[in-house]
Structure 1
Amino acid sequence: MKRIITGLLVLCCCSLLGIVKAQAQVTLTGTIMDKDNKLVLPYASILNKSTGRRTYSDKGGFYKITASPKDVVVFSFLGFRSDSVVVSQSSGTETRNISLTVEAKQLRSVEIGTHYTPYQVDSLSRREQFGYILDKRDMPLAGGSTPVGAGIVFSPFTRYSRSEKQKREFKKVFARAEEERYIDSRYTPQFVSRVTSLKGDSLMLFMRQNYPDYNTMRVMQQEDLIYWITDKYRAWKKK
């Protein structure tokens, strides 16, 4: 009898702990935006450092992640400085709107070791940071060709179709951002200024109006880039 009572007490305690734990769950939600331009940031990374759970914002910059009190949640977006919050509520829904600041475009001015350029070091760092999405294999999307069982509308792909589309869109955004980072690593204000002697607003205007494309920059040697900038500058002056 004593063993039975002890077992029941243990069972009750476990149940109570489970209830308390369930009640301690918090839904952290809100929007993520660019602090300077007030634009929403889609496909931003949201990581609960305390649990390892990760998700990302939708096209409207909206996010939602499960957490517990005192959990640390980190928000990251390509080209922006990461930010973090500590969950303060004990239960229910906690709304935290996040504003991220753009990182400076200037790359490290020193070479890291002998094998990588500053651009390559930064690129490897970004690849590691967002590898959790980039390494995921693309899965079939819900559509007309999705198999459906007799009398069953639900497909194993339908449930995950939205997140799959978001993942694919993020990969495209990441690829475009990497191309821009490569261009910016070579087509710098300092370099263009040395070639054209332009300064200040005139320099920025010239660079915006004569921004090279990625494929051109990939095949162009540094000497050819100088000639390219010079030709563009001469044509720009005539205008």
Structure 2
Amino acid sequence: MKRIITGLLLLFCCCALLAQDAQAQVTVTGTIIDKENQLVLPYASITNKSTGRRTYSDKGGFYKITASPKDVIVFSFLGYKPDSLVVTQSSGTETRDMSLVVEARQLHGVEIGTQYTPYQADSIARRETFGYILDKRDMPLAGSNTPVGAGIVFSPFTRYSRKEKQKREFKKIFAKAEQERYVDSRYTPVFVSKVTSLKGDSLQMFMRNNHPDHHMLRTMPQEDLIYWITDRYKAWIKQ
């Protein structure tokens, strides 16, 4: 009898602990947006720093991640300053909308003796941050090769097709952003102003109307870029 009572007490304690752990789980959810223009940020990275759990927002900027009280959740998106929050609720759903701020798109000062240019150093850091998505191999999407016939047909990628689409789209966004940042690293207001002597609104207007593309800059030496800007400036003045 004593053993039975002891066993029941142990079972009761275990159930109580399990119930306590279940109550400690919080679903943190909300929307991630650009603070300046209020546009949603799709495929932003959401990481529970306390547990290592990681996910990313959907096409509408909506996110959801499991956490415990006092866990730290970090939000990051390509070209934006990361932000974080601390889980305050003890159970249930905690709704927290996040607004991220764009990083300053200015060329860093040149560091003498450094191994990488400022652009290369930033690019390496961004690659490390989002490597967990970029390194994943693209899988066939559900429906692309699914047999058609009577009854229910299961494709091995059906349940993952949404994540596959999100991953593919994020890779496109990442590649496009890297191209824009490379252009920004070479075609800077300081550099263009030295070549043209333009300043203020005139400089901004000239750069907006005469913007080199990524492919051209990748194959163009700096001396040729100076000639290109000079030719565009002469034509712009005539107009």
TM range (shorter): over 0.9
1:200-222: CA deviations, max 9, x gaps?
11111111111111110001001
Q: RMSD over aligned Cα, in angstroms?
A: 1.7
Distance across 1 between alignment mates of 2:53 and 2:148: 31
Residue 219 of structure 2 corresponds to residue 219 of structure 1 = yes
Structure-to-structure mapping, 1:112-127, within 5 angstroms: 113-127=113-127
Relative to structure 1, the CA distance from residue 71 to residue 150 in structure 2 (aligned partners, 3 Å threshold; closer, same or farther) is farther
Structure-to-structure mapping, 1:38-53, within 5 angstroms: 38-53=38-53
1:89-129: CA deviations, max 9, x gaps?
11111111110001001233133754211111000000000
Distance across 1 between alignment mates of 2:144 and 2:225: 49
Instruction: Look up the equivalent residue of 1:61 and give its one-letter code.
Output: G
Residues matched between the structures, number: 239
Classify the secondary structure of the residue corresponding to 2:80: coil
Q: Structure 2: give runs of 5+ residues left out of the alignment.
A: none
Query: 113-122 or 84-93, which moves further after superposition?
Result: 113-122
Report the counterpart of residue 197 of structure 2 in structure 1.
197
Distance across 1 between alignment mates of 2:152 and 2:7: 44
Report the counterpart of residue 186 of structure 1 in structure 2.
186
Classify the secondary structure of the residue corresponding to 1:64: strand
Q: Structure 1: give runs of 5+ residues left out of the alignment.
A: none
Structure-to-structure mapping, 1:1-239, within 5 angstroms: 1-111=1-111, 113-147=113-147, 151-239=151-239
Q: Percent identity?
A: 78
- What is the TM-score of this pair, normalised by structure 1? 0.94
2:32·2:41 contact (CA, 8 Å) conserved in 1? yes
2:146·2:153 contact (CA, 8 Å) conserved in 1? no
Task: Give the deviation of 1:147 after TM superposition.
Answer: 5.0
Distance across 1 between alignment mates of 2:155 and 2:148: 6
Instruction: Look up the equivalent residue of 1:219 and give its one-letter code.
Output: T
Instruction: Look up the equivalent residue of 1:231 and give its one-letter code.
Output: D
